[in-house]
Amino acid sequence: MPSRAYHESLWEAVPADLPPPHYELRRRFLLDEVSAGERVLDVGCGEGWFASELAVAGARVLGLDVAEEPLRRARGRDPQLDLRLMDPDDSWPVEDARYDVVWAGETLEHVADTAGWLSEARRALIPGGRLLLSTPDHGRLALLWLACSRRAYAAHFDPLSDHLRFYTRPGLVRLLGEFGFQGISVRGVGGLPGARRVLLARAVRSRW
């Protein structure tokens, strides 16, 4: 199945107007990090929930997604949003060094070409700009639970799942550092200590 058709089929199976997972945790993180007037690129914006929140807070937001269906829904929810369809196999349709912030909520785990994706994030950010991420946390207790339960393991690592990458806090810190990001902060939120549900990451694009 061509890549575009695959992403469209995934979104057709998602009920409309379903709040994103861990919405309130991620919304607070994002709004704490972004100031009014900043240019924000929301990559994998989906139905535009976070793009709308950023716009209300005074940010100048461009939302990108690899499928037209979520963008159609986003336009229906908030006609004022600036949204673009992106090719999952091509460079992002944005100018170099244009954005103060790149935000990707629950997106990185779906990306096949992680190196290419992070290179595009660097390209889009101004020197000193910030990359903000959220992704599921695979901490020690979560991994132990998966190791102890065949049923949980089979469900979590379903070969037909759209999750392609699985991140721990140390692994995400190391990955961002390898791609020239500095001031990296990654913390787990939600759930229990040692079994957090979400990683929230902040990293600064180096000036070289």
pLDDT digits (tens, 9 = 90+) for 102-141: 999 999 998 999 999 999 999 999 999 999 999 999 776 6
3-state secondary structure of 29: helix
**Which pLDDT does position 154 carry in this prediction?**
74
Packing angle, helices 114-124 and 169-178, rounded to 10: 60
Looking at the DSSP bridge assignments, the partners of residue 195 are: 192
**Which pLDDT does position 98 carry in this prediction?**
97
**Which pLDDT does position 148 carry in this prediction?**
81
Sequence letter at residue 50: F
CA distance 65 to 71: 7
**Which pLDDT does position 153 carry in this prediction?**
67
Q: Cα separations (Å) of 117 from 25, 52, 54, 112, 180?
A: 24, 23, 22, 9, 13
**Which pLDDT does position 143 carry in this prediction?**
65
Say how many Å lie between the first and final Cα of the chain, rounded: 39
pTM to 2 decimal places: 0.91
Q: Strand locations in 47-160, DSSP E? A: 60-65, 82-85, 99-105, 125-136
CA distance 98 to 101: 9
Token duo for residue 186: 């990654």
Looking at domain 3-205, which CATH architecture does it have?
Answer: 3-Layer(aba) Sandwich (3.40)
Q: Which DSSP state fits 190?
A: S
Q: Please state the domain extents for the chain.
A: 3-205
Ranges of the chain with pLDDT below 70: 1-2, 140-141, 143-146, 153, 156, 160, 192-195
CA distance 40 to 63: 8
